[in-house]
């Protein structure tokens, strides 16, 4: 469950937080760079708090940065699918076949998310002890809460 929260953090909050940090005319150009800087800083803080060896720290940092891009793509697909479902529900002429197709896509996205979660668990288990993985999950959940609060104060979701 905690790793799922980590996934949600990377998926949803980092792109939104990074975008919120920039004036709107600079967002497209600097967003990815800012996201990477945020991820690198968080990775360093995590490495410090978990007292990781230099090798483990590097591997966790790389994992956080690499997985962010994959999760961001899944988040985009999920948001798009939710919009399609909502539009279908608003349109009374949408047929059952369309809903079946959309629900099938939703099942496929959930399968891919589970696959990503399992892959992440395998990767992290090669670097971190179970205690460190639990600490990481808790730290990421707390970070997610703080980021959500920040976004709420800024008038976000």
Is the predicted pLDDT of residue 81 greater than 90, yes or no? yes
Is the predicted pLDDT of residue 115 greater than 60, yes or no? yes
Report the mean per-residue pLDDT for the chain.
79
d(CA 46, CA 156): 26
Q: pLDDT tens, 12-32? A: 445 444 444 444 444 545 777
Q: pLDDT tens, 2-14? A: 444 444 444 444 5
Residues 6+ apart with CB under 8 A from 13: 144, 147, 148, 151
d(CA 98, CA 136): 41
The band of 105, judged by pLDDT with boundaries at 50, 70 and 90, is very high
d(CA 86, CA 136): 35
Give the percent of the chain with pLDDT over 70. Answer: 80
Q: Which residue has the higher pLDDT, 135 or 103?
A: 103
The band of 87, judged by pLDDT with boundaries at 50, 70 and 90, is very high
């Amino acid at each position: 469950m905690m790793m799922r929260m980590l996934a949600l953090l990377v998926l949803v909050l980092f792109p939104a937080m990074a975008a919120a940090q920039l004036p709107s005319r600079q967002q497209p150009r600097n967003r990815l760079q800012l996201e990477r800087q945020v991820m690198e800083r968080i990775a360093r803080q995590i490495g410090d708090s978990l007292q990781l060896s230099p090798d483990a720290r590097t591997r966790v940092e790389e994992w956080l940065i690499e997985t962010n891009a994959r999760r961001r793509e899944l988040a985009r697909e999920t948001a798009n699918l939710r919009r399609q479902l909502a539009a279908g529900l608003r349109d009374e002429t949408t047929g059952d076949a369309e809903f079946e197709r959309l629900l099938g896509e939703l099942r496929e996205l959930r399968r891919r998310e589970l696959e990503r979660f399992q892959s992440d668990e395998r990767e992290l288990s090669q670097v971190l002890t179970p205690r460190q993985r639990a600490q990481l999950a808790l730290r990421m959940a707390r970070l997610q809460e703080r980021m959500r609060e920040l976004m709420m104060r800024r008038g976000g979701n």
